[in-house]
Structure 1
Amino acid sequence: MLQLPHYSCMNTLASPEAAYELCRQITATYAKTFYLGTLLMSEEKRRAIWAIYAWCRRTDELVDGPRARLTTPETLDQWEHQLESIFGGYPQEDPDVALADTLQRFSLSIQPFRDMIAGQRMDLCCSRYETFEELYLYCYRVAGTVGLMSMPIMGVEPSPRTAPWNRNVPAELPIEEAVALGIANQLTNILRDVGEDANRGRIYLPLQELALFNYTEEDLFNGVVDERWRELMRFQIGRARKFFTMAEKGVSQLSLDARWPVWSALMLYRQILDVIESNHYDVFRQRAYVGRSRKLLYLPVAWLRAQVL
C-alpha cells in the first residue's frame, strides 16, 4: 500500500491551487477508475470532488493504512475536531485547504463527514458482521456518505418533462440513489478484496449468509473456491447489481455536466463484478480490475446514456 505524503503544518499551509493539485494526485493514485470519471467534469466540480476524495482517503488511512495500528478512538476524536476546524474555516493541513475552499463554493453538510468517521470507528472494533443489516450500516457510513458529500457539487436540474409552472421550483436531490451508488461501490470493494481482508483477519461478508451457503470462516481463510463459494458469490454479486440499478435511476436527475462522469464511474465500477465472474469467483488469487483499454471503450457508451437517459 502506498503511503500518503507528509502534509505541512498550519503555519506553512499550501495555497488553494497547490492544495487542489495535491488532492488531484491523491485521487489519481488511489482511485484510478474514479479519477477518470472526474476528468469529464467542469474544472470547479472536479477539483471539489478531488478535495472530498482526498479527505475520505485520509480518513480511511487512519484505520486501513500503514500506521493504522497506532489509531485509537482518541485519534478519531481528534480527526473529527480537525474536521470541525475545516468547516469553521481553519484548515490545519495542506489537503484541508482545498476542502475549506470547496466549502466556500458549495453548500456541504458536515453530517456525512461525521458519519464516515463513525464508520472508521466501526472498523476499530468490528472485524465481523453477523447480518446484512449490520453490514449495510457500515457500507452507508464508509461509502454511502460519499454520495451525500458529492451531491451538492454534482447539482440537479429539472427534468424537461416537468410542468412549465414547476420549472423554477428547485429540483430535489436524488439522495436515496446517491447512497445506493455508494453502497454498490462498497459491496463491490468487499467482493473484490475478500482475500486481502482475510489476510488482515477481517470478514465483511455477513456471517449469516456464509452459514446459509454452508461456507465457514475457516474455508474463507483457506481460500476455498468450490460450488458453495460460487453460489455465495453469485448471491452477493446479484445484490450489488441491484444497488447499481437503483443508483442508475438518479443519474438522469443530475446536472447535465455531471451525468457523463457519474455514468462512467458507475459503469466502470460495475464491470469489476463482471471480472470477478470471469475469474470464476476466485478473489483469493486473482485481483479483479478493469484494464485501461476496456475503460476507454465504455466512455462513449456512458456519454450516450448521459444524453438520452
Structure 2
Amino acid sequence: VLWSSPGEHRPLQSMCDQRYRGALLLFLAGGAHSAWVAGAVSGRSRHGVALAERGGSGGAGRGASLCMVQTVAPGATPGAGRAAAPSTDAEGPPLPLTAGERFALDEKTMSPAALARREEQLERSYELCREITAHYSKTFFMGTRLFPPDKARAVWAVYAWCRRTDDIVDKPRADRTSLRTELTEWQRRLTDVWEGKPYDLIDLALADTVRKFPALTITPFEDMIKGMVMDLDQNRFETFEELYVYCYRVAGTVGLMTMPIMGTADGYTEEDALEPALALGVALQLTNILRDVGEDRHRQRIYIPQEDLRRFGVSEQALIKGVRSDKYVALLKFQIERAREWYKRAEEGVNMLSQEARLPVRASLDMYSSILDKIEANQYDNFEKRAYTTKWEKLALLPGAWLKTRPK
C-alpha cells in the first residue's frame, strides 16, 4: 500500500517517484520469488512490506521521509505456506525454490544452469542492498564506495539488515504489543541467516556475507535488536552512561559487524581496533541525536541526558516547544564537544585498519562529523533547520581524508 497521508492513496505511477524508490526496493525484494527450477516466478509472498510516507517533523521546508516497513508474520518459518519441498513428481512441475532453499543447496549437486541462476539472484540481492544504502544513508554510502567491491557489497548487506531492523520499530502501529512479536520473529530470522537459511531476497546477501566472512559473529546483530527494544521501553535517559548503552546497541554494534569485513593492518588485531570502532559508532549516534532533536521532540522523545538538561537549566517543556534560548545553545555546545571527543577516540583506530579500509572509514568519519559544523553554522537551531552536508561538500572532504590515512 502506498500513501502520503492517512487515507490518501497514491496512484501506481507514483511508485516511480524518487521519494518512494527505496521502500519500493524492499517491496520488490519480498513480493516475488524468482525461480530457477522451472524458470517461473512464484506469486506467493511470505512477508509483506508496507510503504508509508511520514510527514516531515523536522525543520522548516523539509520533505516527508520514507518509512520502510517490513511486516513479519508471527510464527512464520522459511517455507511457510509452501505445499512441499521442490518435487520431481511427474504429475506436475516442481515448485520454485525460495532464495533460502536455493542458497542452502550443495553446489556440487547443482547443474551449471542452476548455479548461474543462483549467482544472478545473489547479484540482484546485493544490488538491492546497494540501492537501499544509497537511498537511506547518502553519507555512509559515499564512504562505502571507497571500499574494494567485495567489501563494499558486504557492508551494504549489513547496512540493509540494520535499516530494516530500525524500520520495524519506526513504522506506524496502533500498539506496541505487535512490535515485540515482530522483533522476536526478526531475531529468529537472524538466527536462520547465520544457519544459511535466508528468509527473503535481501537476507540472501547477508547470508552470503556471513559465509564469505566467517569471522562475523551474530552477537552485535542481536545487540542491535536489543537496542530496538530499548526504544520501546525508554524515551528518556537519566545519565550519559544510560545513553551510551543505547548508542552502543543501535550504532556501536555496526563497528563490530563490519570489523571482520574491513580487516586490520599488520601488527594490529581486531581486539586492538575494537574500542575505536565502538567510539565511532557512539560518535555517529550522538551526531544523529543532535541533528534530529527537532524531529524527535514531535514524537515526545528526548535523547539528551536528563542530567545535562538540569545542568544547563533547560526544561523538557522548553525543548519540546523548541525554545532556542541561551541556555539551550550552551547545552548544545556541550553536546557537540562531547560528540567530537568520541570522534577523536575513533580517529586513533583508523590506521589500525587494513590499508583498503582506512580511506572509507576516515572519509565517513569526516563527512559525518561535519554535520556538527553545520549545526553550529545554523546558529544551533536544530529545531527548525536540519543540518546536512551537500554532495559537493562531502567530495571536498575526500582529499583531506586521503592525506590523513597516508603513512607518516
TM-score (norm 2): 0.71
Alpha carbons of 1:91 and 1:67: their partners in 2 closer, same or farther (altered >3 Å)?
Answer: farther
Given the alignment of the two structures, is residue 60 of structure 1 paired with residue 188 of structure 2, yes or no?
Answer: no
Partner of 1:123: 231
Cα distance in structure 2, aligned partners of 1:143 and 1:264? 17
Alpha carbons of 1:63 and 1:69: their partners in 2 closer, same or farther (altered >3 Å)?
Answer: farther
Cα distance in structure 1, aligned partners of 2:396 and 2:367? 10
Cα distance in structure 2, aligned partners of 1:180 and 1:66? 31
Cα distance in structure 2, aligned partners of 1:69 and 1:37? 37
Given the alignment of the two structures, is residue 45 of structure 1 paired with residue 151 of structure 2, yes or no?
Answer: yes
Q: Structure 1 residue 65: deviation in Å? A: 3.2
Cα distance in structure 2, aligned partners of 1:271 and 1:91? 37
Return 170-179 or 76-85, whichever deviates more: 170-179
Q: Which runs of 5+ in 2 are unaligned?
A: 1-18, 32-45, 47-77, 79-96, 100-119
Given the alignment of the two structures, is residue 223 of structure 1 paired with residue 322 of structure 2, yes or no?
Answer: yes
Q: Which runs of 5+ in 1 are unaligned?
A: 160-168
Q: Deviations over 1:226-267 (max 9, x none)?
A: 110010001100100000000000000100000001000000
Cα distance in structure 2, aligned partners of 1:294 and 1:118? 35
Q: Deviations over 1:80-127 (max 9, x none)?
A: 000000000000011100000001111200000000000000001111
Aligned amino acid, residue 129 of structure 1: F
Q: Which has the higher contact order (CA 8 A, sep 6+)?
A: 1
Q: How does 1:119-268 map to 2 (within 5 A)?
A: 119-159=227-267, 172-268=271-367
Given the alignment of the two structures, is residue 104 of structure 1 paired with residue 203 of structure 2, yes or no?
Answer: no
Aligned amino acid, residue 401 of structure 2: A
Equivalent of 1:78 in 164, 185, 188? 185
Cα distance in structure 2, aligned partners of 1:170 and 1:191? 33
Cα distance in structure 2, aligned partners of 1:95 and 1:247? 30
Aligned amino acid, residue 395 of structure 2: L
SS in 1 for 2:142: helix
Alpha carbons of 1:148 and 1:199: their partners in 2 closer, same or farther (altered >3 Å)?
Answer: same
Partner of 1:30: 136
Partner of 1:283: 382
Aligned amino acid, residue 94 of structure 1: L
Partner of 1:114: 222
Aligned amino acid, residue 139 of structure 1: C
Cα distance in structure 2, aligned partners of 1:95 and 1:68? 27
SS in 2 for 1:129: coil
Task: Kindly indicate which of the two structures has a greater share of residues assigned to helix.
Answer: 1
Partner of 2:201: 94
Q: Structure 1 residue 72: deviation in Å? A: 2.0
Alpha carbons of 1:22 and 1:173: their partners in 2 closer, same or farther (altered >3 Å)?
Answer: farther
Q: Structure 1 residue 12: deviation in Å? A: 3.9
Aligned amino acid, residue 185 of structure 2: Q
TM-score (norm 1): 0.93
Return 228-237 or 172-181, whichever deviates more: 172-181
Partner of 2:40: none
SS in 2 for 1:174: helix
State the number of aligned residues.
300
Alpha carbons of 1:73 and 1:301: their partners in 2 closer, same or farther (altered >3 Å)?
Answer: same
Cα distance in structure 2, aligned partners of 1:254 and 1:300? 19
Alignment RMSD (CA, Å)? 1.7
Cα distance in structure 2, aligned partners of 1:68 and 1:192? 27
Partner of 1:298: 397
> Contact 1:49 / 1:150 at 8 angstroms: preserved in 2?
yes
